[in-house]
Chains A and B, each alone.
Chain A
Amino acid sequence: EVQLVESGGGLVQPGGSLRLSCEASRFTFSSYWMSWVRQAPGKGLEWVANIKQDGSERHYVDSVRGRFTISRDNAKNSLYLQMNSLRVEDTAVYYCARRGLRGSGWYFDLWGRGTLVSVSS
């Protein structure tokens, strides 16, 4: 089955660090832009970061730039999000998502089930 599976979430204190992983299965991972999207409890979706197929291009939402780093290992079919200097407002379910290939637009055609990150003292 084509799928994305996130891991690495948990409880961390403010100022701490966490590394999320996303493992892709049953598709050619290296052919796709990949993203992280988060959802705070009871809130809407917020895009966090994108990374190009070969890792040569990355983009971040302003609120995480300088604190979070998106990366990938195509040999391991894996996407990562290194999160440093975590804040209470970073508490959310973090989804790994695949950019769709149809046309030149930007949309997500495959999502993982998410991993919960809780930042609290």
Chain B
Amino acid sequence: SYVLTQPPSVSVAPGQTARITCGGNNIGSKSVYWYQQKPGQAPVVVIYYDSDRPSGIPERFSGSNSGNTATLIISRVEAGDEADYYCQVWDSSNDHVVFGGGTKLTV
């Protein structure tokens, strides 16, 4: 089964840029989705199809995907961005949804 690997935690100062990685075998050939989850809340998609933003998501959120690594980039980080972030792909070999283990962003 397909495995996605994320760092458990990332720490960044306010106003700086946070980069959260998601590793997977040839992940660049898949579409990657990113979710933000704040304590006690359901996840919210912040990036889909590698780099597209749903309506309502600030332009500070962007994404990239190439080779074996996808990256969520949060520019000009704010205190309100502190949350858990999960990457997700569709494994077409077995019709399964796969999530990464999650990364806790500390601001």
A-B contact count (CB 8 A): 65
Q: Quick check: A105 and B42 within 8 Å, CB to CB? A: no
Q: Quick check: A50 and B48 within 8 Å, CB to CB? A: no
Chain B residue at minimum C-beta to C-beta distance from A106: B90
Question: Which B63-85 residues have C-beta < 8 A from chain A?
Answer: 84
B residues in contact with A44, CB < 8 Å: 84, 86, 99-102
B residues in contact with A107, CB < 8 Å: 31, 33, 45, 48, 88
A37 to B33: give the CA distance in the assembly, Å.
15
Residue picked from A47, A95, A107, most chain B C-beta under 10 Å: A107
Chain A residue at minimum C-beta to C-beta distance from B102: A44
A44-B102, A45-B86, A45-B102 known; A109+B97 contact, CB < 8 A: no
> Distance (Å) between the CB of A65 and the closest chain B CB?
11
> Distance (Å) between the CB of B26 and the closest chain A CB?
16
A41 within 8 A of B: no
Q: Quick check: A109 and B45 within 8 Å, CB to CB? A: yes
B14 within 8 A of A: no
Top 5 A-B pairs ranked by shortest CB distance?
A106-B90, A111-B42, A47-B97, A44-B102, A107-B33
Interface residues of A (CB under 8 A from B): 35, 37, 44-47, 50, 59, 61-62, 95, 100, 102-103, 105-109, 111-114
Listed A/B pairs (11) with beta-carbon separation below 8 Å: A35-B97, A45-B86, A47-B96, A47-B99, A59-B94, A59-B96, A62-B1, A102-B49, A106-B33, A107-B33, A108-B35
